[in-house]
């Protein structure tokens, strides 16, 4: 038997270049997608970009080979991608496996936590609450226009195959072991393109919903959508602002007669959810659904 074949990097150059320009992806839709279907979806999503080639990979995954590194990075940075009832999740190229397949079921979303009592408005508690939704990637307090002037937000890896939660219930355990009064935290999700208000799942709307609801299970309305973000604060600046009576407002920070504009690039408004949900007659907090890609 001959010894092992010896080779150098030169014979690997084409494969290494292809891997550097590749992402691994999973297309979630009503049936297992073919390569041609994924290619068609990609062509529709990125029609104005340089061509992207879709190749079959193992474990129900697909390799997306981009023409240049800029397009690849932009596609990854803006993931997940939506087209009608389909969700395309992406990550950096790695060897296909069942673990990667399951990882691509979890999509990063920014989740806003509203109605936290003042004394509970800390990053540590916000992280603990957000961890009930999935793995927390990042978290912080954000200055916003509406009362109470700030909102906690967390970037969470959420399993999009399961219904979204629209509220959390929590209570404090006191030092003597007794339990405080329970309170509810309202949730809003940013950058959701297609959602079913009946079954509470991402990726399709009510017209295409085929899920059977459990007894007593109900949906929600567009108040679950949070489309706009605020200016991220560190916890010390937030605490100082609250003690000083500073009123955070829109893209200016008002303290008495002084007003300092924030950068337009990192400051937008956010709308607090209505206390009465869909019954609110003036429409505040209802949210709007962005158009599909």
Ranges of each domain in the chain: 9-103, 106-230+270-279
Residue 159 reports pLDDT greater than 70: yes
Cβ proximity of 183 and 147 under 8 Å: no
CATH architecture of 9-103: 2-Layer Sandwich (3.30)
- DSSP characters over 83-112: ETTEEEEEEE-----HHHHHHTTEEEEEEE
Residue 289 reports pLDDT greater than 60: no
Cβ proximity of 82 and 203 under 8 Å: yes
Check residue 275 and give its pLDDT. 30
User: What integer is the mean pLDDT of 80-109?
Assistant: 86
Least confident of 4-8, 26-30, 57-61, 271-275: 271-275
Model confidence over 191-200: pLDDT tens digits? Answer: 887 788 888 8
Nearest residue to 38 via CA among 99, 97, 100, 83: 83
Query: Tell me, what DSSP letter sits at residue 119?
Result: G
> 90 or 213: whose pLDDT is higher?
90
The pLDDT-based confidence of 71 (bands split at 50, 70, 90) is: very high
What's the rounded Cα separation, in Å, for the pair 108 and 194? 15
Cβ proximity of 140 and 232 under 8 Å: yes
Check residue 105 and give its pLDDT. 86
């Amino acid at each position: 038997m001959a010894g092992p074949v010896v080779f150098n990097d030169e014979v690997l150059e084409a494969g290494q270049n292809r891997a550097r320009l590749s992402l691994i992806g999973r297309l979630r839709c009503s049936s297992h997608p073919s390569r041609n279907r994924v290619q068609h979806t990609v062509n529709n999503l990125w029609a104005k970009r340089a061509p992207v080639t879709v190749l079959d990979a193992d474990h129900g995954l697909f390799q997306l080979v981009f023409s240049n590194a800029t397009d690849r990075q932009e596609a990854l940075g803006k993931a997940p991608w939506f087209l009608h009832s389909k969700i395309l999740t992406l990550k950096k190229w790695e060897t296909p496996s069942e673990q990667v397949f399951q990882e691509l079921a979890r999509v990063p979303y920014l989740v806003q936590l509203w109605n936290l009592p003042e004394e509970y408005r800390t990053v540590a508690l916000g992280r603990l609450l957000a961890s009930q939704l999935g793995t927390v990637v990042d978290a912080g307090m954000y200055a916003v226009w509406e009362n109470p002037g700030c909102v906690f937000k967390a970037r969470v890896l959420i399993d999009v195959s399961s219904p979204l939660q629209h509220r959390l219930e929590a209570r404090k355990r006191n030092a003597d072991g007794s339990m405080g009064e329970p309170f509810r935290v309202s949730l809003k999700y940013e950058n959701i393109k297609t959602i079913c208000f009946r079954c509470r799942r991402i990726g399709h709307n009510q017209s295409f919903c085929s899920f059977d609801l459990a007894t007593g299970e109900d949906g929600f309305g567009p108040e679950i959508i949070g489309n706009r973000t605020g200016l991220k604060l560190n916890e010390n600046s937030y605490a100082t602002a609250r003690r000083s009576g500073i009123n955070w407002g829109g893209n200016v920070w008002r303290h008495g007669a002084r007003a300092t504009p924030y950068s337009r690039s990192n400051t937008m408004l956010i709308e607090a959810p209505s206390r009465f949900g869909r019954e609110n007659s003036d429409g505040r907090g209802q949210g709007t659904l962005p158009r599909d890609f």
